[in-house]
Amino acid sequence: ASCRILRCNSEFVAATVHLSGGGDAALSSDSAYCSALRSYSLCTKRMARPCRGDLAYHSAVQGIEDLLIQHRCPRAGPTARPWPRPQGAVSGDACLYERSFVIREGRAPEYRHCSVFGDPHIRTFSDDFHTCAVQGAWPLIDNDYLYVQVTSTPASHGTHHTVVTKITIIFKSWRQCTDQQLYQAELDHVPAAFADGSQWSGERRGRRVLTVRTDSPGRHAEIRAAYIGTLLVVRQSGRSLGLSVRSPRGVLEAFHPDHDLQLCVWGCPASHRVDVLRPPPQAAGAAEAHCAALLPTRDVYYHACVFDLTASGDLNSSGAAVAALLDARSMTGSGQGVHLLPVAAAGPAGPQPPLVPLSMLGVLGGAWITCC
């Protein structure tokens, strides 16, 4: 119980998960990576006695040695600074966000919803909708409380069709409410536990403030962070991962101006939005029929379903849009604003306007309205 090597592992991942770039940025990243490695090494040295004989511990020690050599890191030098932990004692219901907000403001918090699913498609906190041509690791959320990153890889060799195959979530330390926690999910492995093996962290007035549970072991995880009023749902649909988030506006807006790349806040960069991808008509027709049976409303979830099905040819891919819509219904509360429709579909009752072409799914960017 006293061997906390998994905590060392989590701290190393937290210190390096955001490092990327080329040129001068790469040099800076290498320096930061070496600092993180030295911190990792110090953490393992502190665990030498309680972790004696632990396989994970000895694997970590050997791995650090290999990485120090591989990256030509000096063994002496600066170490990574831990992520800042706000100081000050907490009292009352401070670790229960919604309760403390109601007491302080006299009303419930304003919640916002974001999701990523399929090829991947992004519904932002502002209800914009983008289809993204992205590969590699991209941050969804990066604020004072939470860091969420998704990794996209090609769905198959030689294709531009990408899917989310890894999700990393870091819950930053917050006063006496909770220590830093790391959650990671990969394709075919959606654990109902944090990286250190625990299923909860922090307790206040008899209530656990950070928990993870599952309804479908290995394919679904629900994480509740009561201290920031945030709910995250990770699930696997077909051969891709999806993530849905519900968070108070005050939490998701608490970030430094330097954190200007957050897909859940601003959507995909313009240069990475899909603008042309016209499927063969016969394939589109079959996909439209299949998706219409699952998603009768011709909203962005229906279009995303058709997009994914024609791109992958896998009927199971349609489950991603269905699951994302179900999450949106549960996370947006009253049901108002669940569906996002193309602007052309808005207006008074009358003749049905033409559908937005599938090839325009990513071009419209924020040109969607909430409905129903």
pLDDT, tens digit (0-9, with 9 covering 90-100), for 129-153 = 988 888 899 999 999 899 999 999 9
Instruction: Return the percentage of the chain with pLDDT > 70, whole number.
Output: 80
- Name the pLDDT band for 179 (thresholds 50, 70, 90): confident
pLDDT at residue 29, as a whole number: 57
Q: CA 72 from chain center: how many Å?
A: 32
Q: Tokens for 162?
A: 């990408």
pLDDT exceeds 80 at position 182: yes
pLDDT at residue 24, as a whole number: 40
Residue 306's nearest CA partner among 119, 145, 46 is 119
pLDDT exceeds 70 at position 28: no
Q: How many CB atoms lie within 10 A of CB 281?
A: 8
pLDDT exceeds 90 at position 333: no
**Cα separation, 217 vs 214, whole angstroms:** 6
Which segment, 24-38, 51-65, 218-232, 278-292, is predicted with the most confidence on average?
A: 218-232
Which CATH number among 3.40.220.10, 3.40.1000.10, 3.30.70.100, 3.60.10.10 corresponds to the domain 111-273?
3.40.1000.10
- Name the pLDDT band for 203 (thresholds 50, 70, 90): confident
**Cα separation, 74 vs 342, whole angstroms:** 55
**Cα separation, 303 vs 323, whole angstroms:** 14
Domain boundaries, the chain: 5-71, 111-273
pLDDT, tens digit (0-9, with 9 covering 90-100), for 349-360 = 333 323 333 333
Residue 338's nearest CA partner among 372, 300, 366, 294 is 372
Residue 287's nearest CA partner among 358, 363, 364, 368 is 358
pLDDT at residue 20, as a whole number: 55
pLDDT at residue 295, as a whole number: 92
Segment 97-101 mean pLDDT: 90
pLDDT at residue 160, as a whole number: 74
